[in-house]
Amino acid sequence: MRFTASCLFVFTLLQSTEIMAQQHLRDYQWKQRIILLFTPNPYAAAIKSQAELVQMHKTEFEERDVLIFMVSPHAVSSLDHTTTGLNAAEVYDYSRTVDTFSGVVLIGKDGGVKLKGDYEVAPQRIIDLIDSMPMRRAEIRQNP
């Protein structure tokens, strides 16, 4: 009986640790803007090209509190291909995107989808859109 109780305790502990490690896009709300690079094929030339374009503007995106994730039907990773705790299916649902979509989604700090476009989306277009948002304008006024 003690063995069974111990096993149950350990199993419960492992499950709760796993749940705590999971991330959700809503965890970033009011803190970060998010660029999602979607692809059904993580080895496709289009996502590699878009990732390179975004990487060239990394400093500008960091100044605007932007996180960038690559999303395929089975995984969500950072630009350096580090796996995140985000669930791919949840990211597709949250952004109202189908798993065959190949393009960019911008999520604002308020959690809303601000841009959805097929590859390639010019990084300057994203930067200009962010800079036109009232929240970003307030950030600029507070931190000139």
H/E stretch holding 43: none
Q: How many domains does the chain have?
A: 1
pTM: 0.83
Find the CATH number of the domain harbouring 51: 3.40.30.10
| Residue 4 forms part of a structural domain | no
Q: What is the pLDDT of residue 88?
A: 96
| Residue 1 forms part of a structural domain | no
Q: What is the pLDDT of residue 92?
A: 97
- 36 vs 67: CA distance, rounded Å: 9
pLDDT band at 7 (very low <50, low <70, confident <90, very high): very low
Which residues constitute the domain of residue 119? 24-142
Say how far residue 35 (Cα) sits from the centre of its chain. Answer: 6
Q: Dump pLDDT digits (tens) for 60-111.
A: 999 999 999 999 999 999 998 899 999 999 999 999 999 999 999 999 999 9
Q: Dump pLDDT digits (tens) for 112-144.
A: 999 999 999 999 999 999 999 999 999 989 987
End-to-end Cα separation, the chain, in angstroms: 65
| Residue 14 forms part of a structural domain | no
